[in-house]
Amino acid sequence: MAAPEKDKEKRDTERIQILGELLGEVMVYQPMAVKEISRGGAQVETGYPLQLDSLHDFRLTLGDRSVVVKGRVAHCSITDVDQELVIYRSGIEFVEPPDRVYSVIAEFIEAIVGGRRAL
């Protein structure tokens, strides 16, 4: 392990010790099931509640493409309780998706609708 003096030399900026309490949050991707999707939002199921009006980055795998879209939680409710497992269903409103992301979502929806019509 390197000596503390040597570590200080490697840093671009000085770190200071927090003597009181400084809170923060970490964003971690958790699994979810997308139950419905539209160009403007999605309905998802999770094993944890999503706070109303909170903003999140959602990673969606749409066919062979993956996008990250910012979304606002419009509603959240319990849909199923099975022993110790609780399932929450949340409505997500996409917030100003970039044109590329909007395009991937729209193409995915068109492919699904087109495939259903072919049946």
- Backbone phi, then psi, for 103, in 5-degree steps? -65, -40
Structure tokens at 32: 């979810």
Span 54-107, pLDDT tens digits: 999 999 999 999 999 999 999 999 999 988 899 999 999 999 999 999 999 999
Question: What pTM, to 2 d.p., does this model score?
Answer: 0.75
Each residue's pLDDT tens digit, 7-39 = 556 778 988 899 999 988 777 889 999 999 999
Looking at residue 4, its pLDDT comes to 55
The candidate with the shortest Cα–Cα distance to 31, out of 74, 62, 61, 70, is 61
Q: In the prediction, which pLDDT does 28 show?
A: 81
Percent of the chain with pLDDT strictly greater than 70:
91
For residue 68, the cross-strand partners are 59
Written as one letter, the residue type at 90 is S
